């Protein structure tokens, strides 16, 4: 009985912590593996609420105009060029022009423009947001985000690399 008590105590202490651990890293493109229509959105988010940042970003993206304005049009064209190259090569994506047509959204949040050797480089965060489904009661959610603030072309390159891996494209 003395040997069972410590084991039982250890089991009771471990069980609640095991139930609270996440199953994955929360950064998986598995949900978009079979989805084709994607909408690219680029703008500078004015998120101030850090308590629920992802919800605030999703709300901004859902209200955003899909056509970039001003200097964000240049960033959009850089990202779109890399995505178009991927689309032509693998034919596993197609571009959506409106949010209603898209299965998911690729959102680049411009954080800053850095000037290095008289050349401007856009830096920001890249997110993949899956649209919600009223039938299954799933709200829109962020399923992938860049590891850190990156140069725009590096961020989209990381996403394309992960898309290739999840879809088995070489």
Mean pLDDT in residue range 116-126 = 92
Judge whether residue 22 has pLDDT over 80: no
Q: What is the pTM of this model?
A: 0.80
Retrieve residue 98's tokens. 């409106």
**Cα 148 to Cα 1: distance, rounded to the nearest angstrom:** 52
**pLDDT computed for residue 15 by the predictor:** 39
**pLDDT computed for residue 138 by the predictor:** 85
Domain architecture of the chain: domains with CATH = 25-167 (3.40.50)
Q: Which tops the pLDDT comparison, 168 or 25?
A: 168
Nearest to 39 by CA among 91, 98, 83, 85: 98
10 Å CB burial of residue 158 (0-12, 13-18, 19+) is middle
**Cα 46 to Cα 146: distance, rounded to the nearest angstrom:** 18
* 36-81 pLDDT, tens digit each: 999 999 998 876 556 777 888 898 898 888 899 888 999 999 999 9
């Amino acid at each position: 009985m003395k040997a069972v008590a410590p084991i039982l105590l250890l089991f009771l202490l471990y069980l609640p912590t095991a139930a609270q651990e996440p199953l994955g890293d929360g950064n998986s493109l598995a949900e978009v593996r079979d989805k084709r229509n994607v909408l690219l959105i680029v703008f500078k988010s004015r998120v101030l609420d850090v308590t629920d940042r992802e919800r605030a970003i999703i709300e901004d993206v859902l209200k955003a105009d899909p056509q970039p304005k001003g200097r964000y049009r240049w960033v959009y064209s850089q990202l779109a060029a890399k995505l178009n190259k991927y689309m032509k090569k693998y034919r596993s994506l197609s571009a959506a022009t409106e949010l209603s047509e898209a299965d998911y959204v690729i959102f680049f949040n411009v954080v800053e423009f850095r000037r290095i050797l008289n050349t401007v480089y856009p830096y920001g965060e890249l997110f993949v947001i899956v649209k919600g489904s009223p039938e299954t009661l799933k709200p829109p959610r962020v399923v992938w985000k860049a590891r850190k603030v990156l140069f725009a072309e590096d961020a989209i390159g990381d996403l394309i690399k992960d898309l290739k891996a999840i879809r088995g494209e070489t």
